[in-house]
Amino acid sequence: MVNFPGISSLSFGYGPATEKQQGIKLIREAYEQGITFFDTAECYGPFTNEELLGEALAPFRKEVVVATKFGFEDGDSHKGLNSSPARIRQVVDASLKRLRTDVIDLFYQHRVDPNVPMEDVAGTVKDLIAEGKVKHFGLSEAGVDSIRKAHAVQAVTALQSEYSIWFRETEKEIIPTLEELGIGFVPFSPLGKGFLTGAINENTQFDKADFRNSVPRFNEENRKANQKLVELLGEIAKQKEATPAQIALGWLLAQKPWIVPIPGTTKLHRLTENIGGASVDLSGDDITAIDEAFAKTNVQGDRYPAHLQKRVGN
């Protein structure tokens, strides 16, 4: 299954926010094309992404799954972490109103807060589940120890972390742990923040508000060095009569049956293209060939600037 639901790009991180009615149209078109799982967070905007999703999904809210996240001071990712029980409760009530719903299907801790014991975080969400405000508990970018601590208090339904053909760190410890514990995996940036689509090269100029300007992997030198990865993906795509993005998504879907990638987009034609990734037929030999080819390449540049890297894998 491929789900559109990384709707953060409509109002956060990738330049100017998408015009409201255009965003609503895109979300509703996703539903019409079979998408039933939508992912947002209070800090996307902040707040505007949840409001947009709530309005867009209102006509068919009962027919879809909505995920949102808590974990930042005042809902602002620039202000630092805050997963105190009191803050979690504030977030759930505010998110329910913005999302125009009476329950949050999947409630993630956006980043592990080193100042709040994971047992307290999981315990608070457990209480919210008992109260009927939340259905399932999730973690984002958490390390193995945190996953185990949380799962011992309240079953973790899903982990959301970065995973794609060009970022494979999760294969070392995270994926085996998830498989052991029966936890689903929701990879974000399955298209390498757009790079694996082939639409970005060394000459691409990002909007001044685009966070990729601060990502080492996206500086001009590294984009040039990493271009051979996209060229390789393009060659495979031609053989399969698909696009590079569809091959990247098909590769992810072939890894485990409990992996649900969330490619985001602001464009209708990209939405349809991404959905087509679920229909790409990659054999075991195809996956082996892709893995062997990418094993011979060396991705240049870190995926986060140093100050953000400190927030992941804890």
- Going from N- to C-terminal start, the domains of the chain cover 7-309
pLDDT band at 294 (very low <50, low <70, confident <90, very high): confident
- What secondary structure letter does DSSP report for 19? P
Catalytic residue set:
44
**pLDDT number for residue 296:** 84
Asked if residue 36 has pLDDT above 50, the reply is yes
Our measurement of the distance from residue 208's CA atom to the centroid of its chain's CA atoms, rounded to an integer in Å, reads: 22
Instruction: Tell me the one-letter amino acid at 88.
Output: I
Of the listed ranges 54-63, 111-120, 208-217, the one predicted with least confidence: 208-217
Beta bridge partners of 164: 167
Our measurement of the distance from residue 196's CA atom to the centroid of its chain's CA atoms, rounded to an integer in Å, reads: 15
Asked if residue 109 has pLDDT above 70, the reply is yes
pLDDT tens digits along 247-282: 999 999 999 999 999 998 889 999 999 999 999 989
Asked if residue 9 has pLDDT above 80, the reply is no
**pLDDT number for residue 297:** 83
Asked if residue 245 has pLDDT above 90, the reply is yes
**pLDDT number for residue 1:** 40
With both helix axes pointing from N to C terminus, report the angle between 244-253 and 268-276 in degrees, rounded to the nearest 10: 40
Mean pLDDT over residues 115-140, rounded? Answer: 98
The CATH H-level (homologous superfamily) assignment of domain 7-309 is NADP-dependent oxidoreductase domain (3.20.20.100)
Residue linked to tokens 């630092």: 80
H-helix or E-strand spanning residue 52: helix 48-57
Mean pLDDT value across the chain: 93
Percent of the chain residues topping a pLDDT of 70: 96
**pLDDT number for residue 10:** 76
Of the listed ranges 15-24, 44-53, 81-90, the one predicted with least confidence: 15-24
**pLDDT number for residue 15:** 66
H-helix or E-strand spanning residue 309: helix 306-309
Q: What is the dihedral of CA 262, 268, 273, 278, to 10 degrees?
A: 50
Asked if residue 160 has pLDDT above 90, the reply is yes
Percent of the chain residues topping a pLDDT of 90: 83
Q: From 108, 181, 104, select the one nearest 138 (Cα to Cα).
A: 108
In sequence order, the 6+-apart residues with CB closer than 8 A to the CB of 116 are: 83, 84, 85
Q: Give the C-alpha separation, 220 to 218, whole Å.
A: 6
Residues, the chain, total?
314
Of the listed ranges 8-17, 18-27, 197-206, 276-285, the one predicted with least confidence: 8-17
